[in-house]
Amino acid sequence: MVIGIDLGGTNIKGALVDGEGAIIAKLETATRANAGPEAVAGRISGIITDLEAMANDRERRVPGIGIGVPGQSDQAQGTVIFAPNLHWHNVPLVKYLHRITRLPIFLENDANVAALGEQWRGAGRGSVNMVMITVGTGIGGGLILNGRLYSGTNGSAGEVGHTVIDPDGPQCSCGRRGCLETLTSATAMVRMAQEAIDRGEETDLVRVENLEAKDIFMSAEAGDKTAREIVNKAAYFLGIGLGNLINIFNPDTIVIGGGVSKAGDILFKPLRRTAMEQALDAPAAVVRIIPAELGNDAGCIGAAKLVFQAVESQDHYSLHRKGEIRD
């Protein structure tokens, strides 16, 4: 059994996960990022201590801890380089956590970790080349290539949300214009709805308080013309993004995660149509585009997989270095 941690801007989730990817126990606490990195590390430590005790009750030893981080991390240094939601720059997270445990700790970007989880136990089971796109407030991406997580040269691969689809499009938080994230995220859909309302379009969305993407999908289902146009627009741009990914990576599976993955045919039909139009025939013939299955558990399960992967590949170098293996 290993411990998988999903460190988010709002909550920290932790799970005890067995070798089959099943969750044996789950804990959750508020992140309270305002209190600073050391305090957050203390809260993660609390979850680790409790989960380790649960493993010990079952007479199991925990060989390591995997952590999905909402940003970029440096595995070799054990630091979180940048996590905008937490306001973290160069935080020595592993050093803080080693105050309470000497177990090896593996850090990885949260979107990458979610991809790993879905490939292991979710919608991407059995997939060899898989792209996962998480569409929420922003857009995250993770790549599984030749059966393994591909993190890139310095851990920043898979930033699908910041591929530019329309150079004259809306301003993105990253400073560029027309990134996929500005055209198809939940935030983008709500912005489009607000713009339509401001233009005076006749739509049921006017009456929704604290409008969210799921309200737009519901109104679209109910036949609201404005809502339908927004969904089709979002599906169109996401489809262009997927077409590009299909042509570059020739994946067997694309998994769509995040809140929108529950939208069903109203999103997936136009999305698949555009993606297939944009992709070349050969890669289009072998790819399936499907919703994620693990929901909020993908992070913890994928984080746990980081540890199993290291053990399986007998990553003696990293386990040695972390003081775990003594022969």
**Residues making contact with Zn ion (CB under 5 A):** 162, 172, 174, 176, 179
Q: Which is nearer to Zn ion, 130 or 188 (CB)?
A: 188
Contact, 306 vs 66, CB < 8 A?
yes
Burial of 244 from C-beta contacts in 10 A (0-12 / 13-18 / 19+): middle
How are the residues of the chain apportioned to helix, strand and coil, as percentages rounded to the nearest 5? 45, 20, 30
Q: Which is nearer to Zn ion, 182 or 203 (CB)?
A: 182
Task: Give the C-alpha separation, 307 to 302, whole Å.
Answer: 9
Q: Which is nearer to Zn ion, 134 or 203 (CB)?
A: 134
Burial of 109 from C-beta contacts in 10 A (0-12 / 13-18 / 19+): buried
For 196, residues 6+ apart whose C-beta sits below 8 A from its C-beta are: 203, 205, 226, 229, 230
Q: Which is nearer to Zn ion, 164 or 208 (CB)?
A: 164
Q: Which is nearer to Zn ion, 164 or 197 (CB)?
A: 164
Task: Give the C-alpha separation, 47 to 32, whole Å.
Answer: 14
Contact, 108 vs 73, CB < 8 A?
yes
- Kindly state the smallest distance separating residue 323's Cβ from Zn ion, in Å: 40
Q: Which is nearer to Zn ion, 49 or 171 (CB)?
A: 171
Measured CA distances, 225 to 19, 174, 210 (Å): 48, 32, 20
In terms of DSSP bridges, do strands 105-109 and 88-91 run parallel, antiparallel, or are they unpaired? unpaired
Q: Which is nearer to Zn ion, 129 or 185 (CB)?
A: 185
Contact, 241 vs 180, CB < 8 A?
yes
